[in-house]
Amino acid sequence: MTTPILIVLIGFIIFLGHYLAQLFERTKIPDVVGLLLVGILLGPIFHLINPIAFGQAGRVFSNVVLVFILFESGLEVRFDQLQASLRGTVSLTTLNFVVTTLVVAIMGQLFAGLDFLSSVILGSILGGTSSAVVTTLTRSVNILPQTSTTLVMESALSDVFTLAVPIALISVYTGSSFSVSTLFTQILASLFVAILTGAVSGYFWSVLLNRVPTLLKTHFSTPAFVFILYGLVEMLDFSGPIAVLFFSITLGNVALLKPRKRNWYLPQPTEHVELTSKEKDFFAEIVFLLRTFFFVYVGMSIVLDNWSLIGLGVTITVLLLLFRIPVVLATTAPTTPQFDMAFMSVMIPKGLGAAVLATLPSQRGLPTGPAIQTITFAVIMATTVLCTVLFFLVEKRYMQGFYALFFGKNRPVDASSVGQP
């Protein structure tokens, strides 16, 4: 593809993204599906663009998208929402990861001919959720703030599991040293260090903004610092997404952290750090452009080389949606509305992070690597499409009767009925 045609295609995708976004506002038909289909047509169907040609730039692009989305989302989270959802988030993330790993591992052994360790590697790769998809859909539906916070936090926290566990298991497969205690220590350290680094960085960045007012006059000074924070935390083998999320949460709540008495050892932050309406519109447009190309890129990255394994990936997706129901039921508070729980039950999309991890087994020489990669890409595509379609059905209340069978007893119907007699 020549450079002029590629530039024309970029402009076309931007216009298409705006059209699909407006279509979503009118009809609630998710724009993600259309963007994925465009990517599939450009990549695996007509082979106009090969995502391999992007090389490392593709992974960098996906990380940039993730940083912007998490940063913008965290600014809207309040400490009371975080406190109310934290316990549910940890239990939801952990139980969903365990159940997903077990279901996928069983299916991989029974129908893909994978050995036990390879099937568990596949399950652990698929144990998380995509922050880009979850955050995009969560913003466009009327649910409780703590429900929204729980889902965004789950998508970020699950990265800790989906990064540490598969890499550790691949090390076992290739004969490297491994111990269970080391794995759990690594997970806890990654989580603790990322949260602490993000929170402390958010507090002291607010202090710096207060003492260097010229930083507030630029649109990109804070995102630039966020990129540095993300990169440094990742270089130390901790969770960059968690650090970014807690950085932005701290920055958005910094007025609550101001000490009552001035201490010489604790600098004072600004009274309130908030983006202006012009800045919010500016960042919203950047996030829109990035997520538009992100979903097209995911569609281009889908591998269609083994239809039996692709069919298995779709079957796994259906099973994961069914098993998500008891997971949500077991980890949510009794006062959570039916609609919120139905929405949580369809939020299992897998993202580009899973796609990147799926390439590791082949790179490390595992004989089951190609099968793991094909199944993973099929699940990414199937979960993204089915989740967005089910989101449309749930949002329109077409699935209310089905989910009421599981969530209907002694629960409010939706967010508007919470607290009413």
**What tokens appear for 71 in the block?**
């940063």
**What tokens appear for 213 in the block?**
């007012």
Res 178: pLDDT: 58
Q: Among candidates 354, 376, 346, which has minimal Cα distance to 158? A: 354
Domain positions in the chain: 3-412
Q: Among candidates 367, 327, 290, which has minimal Cα distance to 97? A: 327
Res 36: pLDDT: 81
Planar angle of CA 365, 348, 250, nearest 5 degrees: 100
Res 419: pLDDT: 54
Strand ranges in 255-349 using DSSP code E only, listed in sequence order = none
> Locate tokens 């490392």: which residue?
56
Bridge partner list, 294: none
Planar angle of CA 83, 391, 104, nearest 5 degrees: 80
Q: What's the number of CA atoms in the CB half-sphere (13 Å) around residue 132? A: 28
Q: Alpha-carbon distance 319 to 315, whole Å?
A: 6
SS3 assignment for 397-414: CCCHHHHHHHHCCCCCCC
Q: Alpha-carbon distance 100 to 122, whole Å?
A: 10
> Locate tokens 């394994």: which residue?
309
Res 99: pLDDT: 97
> Locate tokens 């800045």: which residue?
279
What value does the CA radius of gyration of the chain take, rounded to a whole number of Å?
A: 21
Those residues of the chain that have pLDDT short of 70 are 1, 28-30, 54-59, 62, 175-180, 183, 216, 255-280, 352, 409-410, 415-421
Residue 359 is which amino acid? T
Q: Alpha-carbon distance 53 to 305, whole Å?
A: 18
Q: Distance of CA 131 to CAs 37, 62, 153, 255, 353, Å? A: 20, 11, 9, 27, 10
Residue 288 is which amino acid? F
Pick the CATH number of 3-412 from 3.40.50.970, 1.20.1530.20, 2.102.10.10, 1.10.3720.10: 1.20.1530.20
Contact 340, 144 (CB under 8 A): yes
Res 287: pLDDT: 77
Res 265: pLDDT: 47
Contact 292, 366 (CB under 8 A): no
Q: Alpha-carbon distance 266 to 281, whole Å?
A: 34
How many other C-beta atoms lie within 10 A of the C-beta of residue 56?
7
**Reported pTM:** 0.75
How many other C-beta atoms lie within 10 A of the C-beta of residue 204?
13
